[in-house]
Amino acid sequence: MFLLRTQFAASISRPRSYLRLCSQCQRKFFPRNRAFSTLPDIPIFKALQSHDPARLAIVHSKSNRSFTYGSLVADVLQSKERLAEKQPAGLSGQRVAFLAENSYDYVVMLLSILASDAIAVPLSPAFPVPELQYVIDHSSPSVLLSTERFADKAREIYSAGLQAEPLLDVRSKISAGSSSTNPVSLTSLHEPQGGLMLYTSGTTNRPKGVLIPQSALTAQSLSLIEAWKYSPRDHLLHLLPLHHIHGVVNALLTPLIAGSAIEFMFPFNPEATWRRLAAPFLPEGSNRSVITFLTAVPTIWSRLLGSFPDLPSDVQTAAKQAISPANLRLNISGSAALPAPTKKAWEELSGGNVLLERFGMTEVGMAISCGLDFRDRVDGSVGWPLPHVEARLWDYEKNEVIRPGEEVDENGRERVGEIQLRGPTIFKEYFRNEAATEEAFVDDNDGKGRWFRTGDDAVRRPVPGSGQGSSGDWAQGPMYFIQGRRSVDIIKIGGEKVSALEVERELLSLPEIIEAAVVGLPSEQWGQRVAAVVVLDRTRVGPSWGIMDLRRALKGRLAMSKIPTKVKVLEKIPRNAMGKVNKKMLVKEVFGGS
């Protein structure tokens, strides 16, 4: 942490022009009960204050309305003061839930909750009311903030009777942004209690509240700034939901700390996204900024590719220019495995822009990433542990760590291990769920703390020409290749482990298949067998195309034991907002009791 703090202090060394007052003086000068113009002395607010107040912070894409860092700080203060009026006893360590569209208002709410040293619980407006009620009951917030747009939904949450009713505070839309020039000071918090709580989509159990203290949020952001070099010159197009780590940390908090501009465009619409990307390169869009940074999930990349041919030719030409390496500085994929054909097609369309893949999860933020140097973006790999993240692979069969140099066993086979992580970026606990927290961590006797068990398996493999350190010191040595979730993606056939992701990759490389999900089904003879759910490209296959054609196509590409023995064709594979497939549910729905 010390290293992080000193690095950070160095990165925001600009002198501050605002008045600094100690808390005692503030009490003397300001009337009692009036909330002071103070923000906590934590890195996110230090950073916000150090940015040029005139710099663009947030843009609403559709209307092109924009807000500067100066107005953001002023509005956060105002919102924090309003919260303090609601809860004069203070909100430190308490939960504050909020329901807001992807907008400036969301950002102001989130930051004002952090500024109150409280724990922000973003609610997804897309969730049905009973699910939101579950989150409210579980997190027991003191206040529920809502924008006007979702006021009815917020009231509906109350109507069914909540266990502990939070105060409801409906906020009207901030249209112009404040221009207050009140002096703002930073006051240190004795023991910071604030942070973010995100609910993970459970497969069998109810969602768990992942409590990420502000120190971990900061560490996650600083790690990404170091690896991906976010800068005030970046203009990020934000296409993701804001109740998920990817949308909140990678695409919002981190660029805010770096002083970048964030443009909201949600929900994702491929054609609108193309038109926005293309705008600065068309005569009518010359007032729009060039998008330099795009982070998305694999389904977004593939839907963009799928809709490109339908664009008018002038938009196509401009869009190609927009996504070329000269303009789109960084294109990142994550939250699920990136299919190689998608990566290749994007590279071709963009004239050489290679998607950078990374691995992360709600509990840890981003953990492993490919590098900025194109040579460090290797197909099928997620790269190296990010700065300040310590990673290891744990072999459950031998009950030992797979040490560097031990990646291959005595029979020449690659050893698969669970990714385990530790360091300042890791979450604190599953809120009010001691048993799950206990189970998620494993002790180490080296005195450096316990490891978080991700539940994801990987292999580590040296890749010639990559990992030479050109993307940073952290990006060196053998690279990580995700094999999938231990619980669903590692299929055991007669004792041999098959990675569902590997089979999916091969299926997706067949021109006839546009979507694939591979699962394990119980088999008396082998323990498990490989089954696949696929979506076919109807323009390429006739109605008689079936399992025998699929098996024939995979012969020679995959060992026989890995080729699916059962295949189900669907029109669409159900996915959540982040493009993830819930395989446990899929097996139940598609294969029933088989």
Q: Name the residues that contact ligand AMP, by CB under 6 A.
A: 200, 245, 334-337, 357, 359-362, 382, 454, 456, 482, 485, 578
Closest approach of ligand AMP to the CB of residue 357, in Å? 5
Closest approach of ligand AMP to the CB of residue 579, in Å? 10
Nearer to ligand AMP, 48 or 368 (CB): 368
Contact 257, 7 (CB under 8 A): no
Nearer to ligand AMP, 204 or 313 (CB): 204
Nearer to ligand AMP, 360 or 564 (CB): 360
Nearer to ligand AMP, 91 or 336 (CB): 336
Closest approach of ligand AMP to the CB of residue 452, in Å? 11
SS3 430: strand
Closest approach of ligand AMP to the CB of residue 363, in Å? 7
Closest approach of ligand AMP to the CB of residue 519, in Å? 14
Secondary structure element (H or E) that encloses residue 131, with its range: helix 129-139
Closest approach of ligand AMP to the CB of residue 147, in Å? 25
SS3 66: strand
Closest approach of ligand AMP to the CB of residue 243, in Å? 10
Contact 371, 362 (CB under 8 A): no
Closest approach of ligand AMP to the CB of residue 419, in Å? 9
Rounded CA separation 510/532 (Å): 14
Nearer to ligand AMP, 72 or 366 (CB): 366
Closest approach of ligand AMP to the CB of residue 62, in Å? 27
CA distances in angstroms from 191 to 118, 187, 408, 431, listed in the order given: 12, 12, 46, 19
Closest approach of ligand AMP to the CB of residue 304, in Å? 18
Rounded CA separation 439/361 (Å): 17
Nearer to ligand AMP, 178 or 250 (CB): 250
Closest approach of ligand AMP to the CB of residue 352, in Å? 22
Nearest to 451 by CA among 386, 383, 401: 401
Rounded CA separation 145/377 (Å): 41
What sign results for the dihedral spanned by CA atoms 183, 186, 187, 191?
positive
Nearer to ligand AMP, 75 or 456 (CB): 456
Nearest to 233 by CA among 164, 296, 327, 297: 327
Closest approach of ligand AMP to the CB of residue 312, in Å? 33
Rounded CA separation 291/251 (Å): 13
Nearer to ligand AMP, 21 or 224 (CB): 224
Rounded CA separation 461/471 (Å): 18
Beta strands 56-60 and 261-264: pairing type? parallel
Nearest to 387 by CA among 578, 184, 227: 227
Nearer to ligand AMP, 43 or 380 (CB): 380
Contact 514, 543 (CB under 8 A): no
Q: What residues contact 251, with CB distance under 8 A and at least 6 apart?
A: 236, 238, 240, 262, 295
Secondary structure element (H or E) that encloses residue 231, with its range: none
Amino acid at 552: R
Q: What is the 3-state secondary structure (H, E, C) of 433-466?
A: CHHHHHHHEECCCCCCCCEEEEEEEEEEECCCCC
Give backbone dihedrals phi and psi of 536, rounded to 5 degrees, phi first: -95, 150
Closest approach of ligand AMP to the CB of residue 368, in Å? 8
Two tokens, residue 202: 């459970």
Two tokens, residue 528: 């498990």
Nearer to ligand AMP, 429 or 456 (CB): 456
Rounded CA separation 102/242 (Å): 7
Give backbone dihedrals phi and psi of 508, rounded to 5 degrees, phi first: -70, -15
Two tokens, residue 203: 């497969």
Nearer to ligand AMP, 142 or 362 (CB): 362
Nearer to ligand AMP, 112 or 483 (CB): 483
Q: What is the CA radius of gyration of the chain?
A: 25
Neighbour tally for 340: CB within 10 Å? 14
Nearer to ligand AMP, 200 or 565 (CB): 200
